[in-house]
Amino acid sequence: MIEITASMVKELRERTGVGMMECRKALVEKEGDMEAAVKYLRERGISKAEGKALRETKEGIIFSYIHFNGRLGVMLELNCESDFVARTEQFRHLAEEIALQIAATNPLALTAEKIDPAIIEQEKEIARNKAINDGKKPELVERIVEGTIKKYCSEHSLLEQELVNETGRTVKDLLTEAIAQTGENIQIARFVRYALGGE
């Protein structure tokens, strides 16, 4: 059986805009044949999801989640294209899954680009000083800082976060799959997480 490498998955992801797990699954299904995997994803409608991301989303729901102890809550605006999709159980379940993710991980922003630049600069300084204090060679310090910031952003931006209940899938993967299944563009418009006393 052919080995499916990370670079193969990356190439398929770049070509189709589909999540890592779906790409890996397609490559396994098609025994590493890149063209067959692209065709497989297209036939399933998954690769069309990225194209739908440009369509306008004026419908949707405001979803709220309050943790059982009453000390933590999340409000989320999840948008789609039609009222029909917004009223489905599948759409509500998606909103709930995203709200639970926000409750568990407390992301700083929706995307890495939206994280406050001041926070990023502070994290860079900490990473740089740590690398220097650890005795790393000067030529390695900036590479270490870059890697640390990339990891920080993936952990603190909602779309890039790995799902708390499923290893190897991100929130973006979850949205992409929902777009493919509903045939509509779905976007997280905004969210807020409240913790009692700023916990």
Q: How many helices (H) and strands (E) does the chain have?
A: 9, 3
- Domain 6-47 is of which CATH architecture? Orthogonal Bundle (1.10)
Q: What is the pLDDT of residues 91-129, one digit of tens each?
A: 999 999 999 999 999 999 999 889 999 999 999 999 989
Sketch the domain layout of the chain as residue ranges.
6-47, 52-110+157-198, 116-156
Instruction: Report which DSSP code applies to 196.
Output: G
- Domain 52-110+157-198 is of which CATH architecture? 2-Layer Sandwich (3.30)
Q: pLDDT class for 178, splitting at 50, 70, 90? A: confident
| Domain 116-156: which CATH number of 2.60.40, 3.30.420, 1.10.286, 2.120.10 | 1.10.286
Q: CA-CA distance, 57 to 173, in Å (whole number)?
A: 19
Q: CA-CA distance, 39 to 54, in Å (whole number)?
A: 22
- Do residues 60 and 185 lie in contact, with contact meaning Cβ atoms separated by under 8 Å? no
Report pTM.
0.68
Q: CA-CA distance, 199 to 181, in Å (whole number)?
A: 37
